[in-house]
Structure 1
Amino acid sequence: MAATANKTPVTTNIEWLNRAYSAKGKNDLRSLYDEWAASYDTDLVQPNQDYVAPTLAAATLANHLSPEQPIDKIQVLDAGCGTGLVGAALSKLGAKHISGIDLSPGMLKVAGALHVYTNLDTTDLSKPLVEGTDTFDAVTCIGTLTHAHVGPEVLSEFVRVTKKDGWIVATVLDDIWEDIGYRAEIDKLVANAKVKLVSADSGDYRRGAGVSARMVVLKVIG
């Protein structure tokens, strides 16, 4: 999610977004999302936001799975799962084994009420993940690789916890794709034969607000 200049009148959820993108460290972010959790989903489905990225990401992952990777059998890590929008979208497509991690206990409480996650844990994505190497068939990270949140260094951790021939699907806002180093980090992972970059097309993110993002699809190869 990114706060961008547009002609939409300022509403409560825009104020939340502005606070999120100017957060001063992890404690500030955690407190913000704990406060926002109760209204987060409602705020972002408003027509002036139309946060479509979670649904698009779930469909993207499902479309890339091979016949040997049935969606109801794979283990998915939803990193930065928030209130569970991605998990809910994956569940509708048949996913049954989804683990969620997020910085905010308040957001995780909302996600838990959906009953689509097999496990939920509080996690700071700026630190090494506790999950084991080669644990998951897929990792999703939607809405978290953004301003004042998590930097590109987390991508190598996603690769580590993903099995060979597994998938990473993540959104990166267009306006920070190069400036903050996400593209460079992916180029490095490709050069080191860790992943294949399948696509990184720009498309709808918060469609109502005119905000776009790269939908990054990586296949783990080493």
Structure 2
Amino acid sequence: MDVNNEQLRRVYKLSGPDEARDIYDEWAASYNEDLRDMGYVGPRVAAQRLAELATPGSTVVDTGCGTGLVGAALLELKADLILDGVDISPGMLEEARGTGAYRNLVAADLTQPLQVPDNSYDAAICVGTFTDGHLGPAGFDDLVRVVRPGGIIVATVQSQVWEAEGFRHHLEEMTRAGTATLREANERPYHEITCRLCVLDVP
């Protein structure tokens, strides 16, 4: 098994935030190259959809921003967006800073509520975080909280956890409750597997 798949095995079996911080700090310097080698297109796929939906000058929070792959893609696709990034790994955030895509970068544990007031952003994007060993379906609740009414959320959910970890059910329940509307959840390319590309409208 090559080093890239070994890293994926490790991150998909994380035991908690402290281990996540350590592993991603260790991986930060080679992360982009490693994922490029395994055909990682998730950031570009999600960024393209957000760029199609976001109005000019929108403020966007990129949660689990990692090394800034999403921010770099958004900067290329729609340069007038105002991006803030949040990630658990200071090492990843240092790499993201080098993209020049972000207004602010903040270290935070995404398993806890963001230290951000309600209705702070026009949109949120989250790529690579709703998956094994990372963030569960309830993470969508906090994204809805920080996005203003009328805003949008674009997020990837890896296909193998979509049903098994209750993501479909949770998002459908949010729609029934009126806290957000699941506009689409289409299967799209990701890297060696597929993801559900979810778009939520915030009422």
Give CA-to-partner distance per residue, 1:69-104, whole Å, 9 cap, x none.
21xx10000000000000000111224410000010
Give CA-to-partner distance per residue, 1:149-205, whole Å, 9 cap, x none.
111111011001001111100000111101111111111110111112110001100
TM-score normalised over the length of structure 1: 0.89
The structure that has the greater radius of gyration is 1
Matched, 1:90 2:74: yes
Q: Is the 8 A contact 1:34 1:104 kept in 2?
A: yes
Matched, 1:185 2:170: yes
Please give the secondary structure, in 1, of the residue aligned with 2:29: coil
Matched, 1:64 2:53: yes
Greater helix proportion: 2
- Count of paired positions: 202
Matched, 1:40 2:24: no
Partner residue, 1:124: 109
Aligned counterpart for 2:63 among listed residues 67, 74, 79: 79
Report deviation, 1:218.
0.4
Report deviation, 1:12.
0.9
Unpaired stretches in structure 1, ≥5 consecutive residues: 1-9
C-alpha separation in 2, matches of 1:217 and 1:197: 6
Correspondences of 1:78-157 after superposition (within 5 Å): 78-93=62-77, 94-157=79-142
Q: Is the 8 A contact 1:96 1:116 kept in 2?
A: no
Report deviation, 1:64.
2.0
Unpaired stretches in structure 2, ≥5 consecutive residues: none
For 1:32, give the aligned amino acid. Answer: I
Q: Is the 8 A contact 1:80 1:142 kept in 2?
A: yes
C-alpha separation in 2, matches of 1:95 and 1:24: 38
Partner residue, 1:215: 197
C-alpha separation in 2, matches of 1:127 and 1:105: 17
Partner residue, 2:152: 167
Please give the secondary structure, in 2, of the residue aligned with 1:138: strand
95-104 or 167-176, which deviates more: 95-104
C-alpha separation in 1, matches of 2:43 and 2:25: 20
| Segments ≥4 residues shifted beyond 6 Å | none
Partner residue, 1:30: 21
Report the RMSD for the aligned CA atoms in angstroms: 0.9
TM-score normalised over the length of structure 2: 0.97
Please give the secondary structure, in 2, of the residue aligned with 1:37: helix
Matched, 1:197 2:188: no
For 1:216, give the aligned amino acid. Answer: C
Same amino acid, percent of matched pairs: 41
